[in-house]
Amino acid sequence: MLGLLISDKEKMELEYLLKREMDDIVSDFQDERIDHIIKRAMNEKFNILFSLFKRVSTEEECLVYMKVKTKLSKHNQ
């Protein structure tokens, strides 16, 4: 386990970067030209980013991405 000390400004920047990356994955996931194998890798990346996002964001923000995560999981089945 690792610890990390960051300032409030750094926390906000981390949240922004994670949101932007997760939003990009969600928009790319809807592209039908992308192969199923690539989408599975994208889903795994989203899960990793979301686990980081949960550590720095509020419950309300997490709920938004939890809905997206559920939709991505359903598409992968």
pLDDT over 90 at 50, yes or no: yes
Look at residue 3 and tell me if it is in a domain.
Answer: no
Could you tell me the two tokens for 57?
């964001």
Residue 27 falls within a domain, yes or no?
yes
Predicted pLDDT of residue 1: 79
- Which domain covers residue 21, as residue numbers? 9-76
Q: What is the DSSP letter of 34?
A: S
pLDDT band at 51 (very low <50, low <70, confident <90, very high): very high
Instruction: Write down the pLDDT at residue 75.
Output: 63
Flag whether 46 is in a domain. yes
In a domain, 35, yes or no: yes
Does the residue 63 lie in any domain? yes
Number of domains in the chain: 1
Q: What is the pTM of this model?
A: 0.82
Residue 59 falls within a domain, yes or no? yes
Backbone angles phi, psi at 40, to 5 degrees: -65, -40
Q: What is the pLDDT of residues 19-45, one digit of tens each?
A: 999 999 999 988 999 999 999 999 999
Cα separation, 55 vs 71, in Å, equals: 21
Assess if residue 2 is contained within a domain. Answer: no
